[in-house]
C-alpha cells in the first residue's frame, strides 16, 4: 500500500490562523496561530518557525516552535531544534544541542500524570 502523502508548508510560505490537517504535516515555512493534526504527525522542519500551539499524535521539532505542545505519543526536539512552551505528552526526546524551555507533563498509559519543570 502506498505511503500516506504529507501536507507541506514550504519555506516561502507564511500562514496565519488555525491550521488543521488530517494527514502528516511538514512545516518548513512560518505559521502564526495553531497547528492541529490530532491523528497524525507534525514536523517543524529545520527552516520552520511556528509561533503557534500544536496538537498532534506526534510532534517532531527540527526548527523553532513557540507555544504549548500536546502530543498523544511523543514530542522529539532534535539537535538544532527549539521549543519554548509547555509540553503534555506520553514521551519526550530532547537531543544534545536542542533547546527547551517550559514545563513537561508526562501522561502515562494508566491515566496518571507526573510533572517536571525544566
* Per-residue pLDDT reduced to its tens digit, 11-67: 999 999 999 999 999 999 999 999 999 999 999 999 999 999 999 999 999 999 999
The pTM for the full model equals: 0.88
Residue 11: alpha-carbon gap to chain centroid: 17
Structure confidence by residue, pLDDT tens digits, 69-91: 999 999 999 999 999 999 999 99
114 strand-pairing partners:
106
> Are 104 and 84 in contact, with CB atoms under 8 Å apart?
no
Amino acid at each position: 500500500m502506498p505511503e500516506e502523502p504529507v501536507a507541506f508548508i514550504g519555506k516561502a510560505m507564511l500562514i496565519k490562523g488555525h491550521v488543521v490537517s488530517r494527514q502528516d504535516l511538514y512545516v518548513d515555512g512560518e505559521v502564526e496561530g495553531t497547528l492541529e493534526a490530532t491523528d497524525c504527525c507534525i514536523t517543524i522542519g529545520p527552516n520552520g518557525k511556528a509561533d503557534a500551539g500544536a496538537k498532534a499524535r506526534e510532534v517532531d521539532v527540527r526548527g523553532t516552535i513557540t507555544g504549548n505542545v500536546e502530543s498523544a505519543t511523543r514530542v522529539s526536539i532534535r539537535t538544532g531544534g527549539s521549543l519554548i512552551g509547555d509540553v503534555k505528552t506520553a514521551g519526550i526526546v530532547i537531543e544534545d544541542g536542542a533547546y527547551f524551555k517550559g514545563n513537561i507533563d508526562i501522561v502515562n498509559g494508566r491515566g496518571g500524570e507526573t510533572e517536571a519543570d525544566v
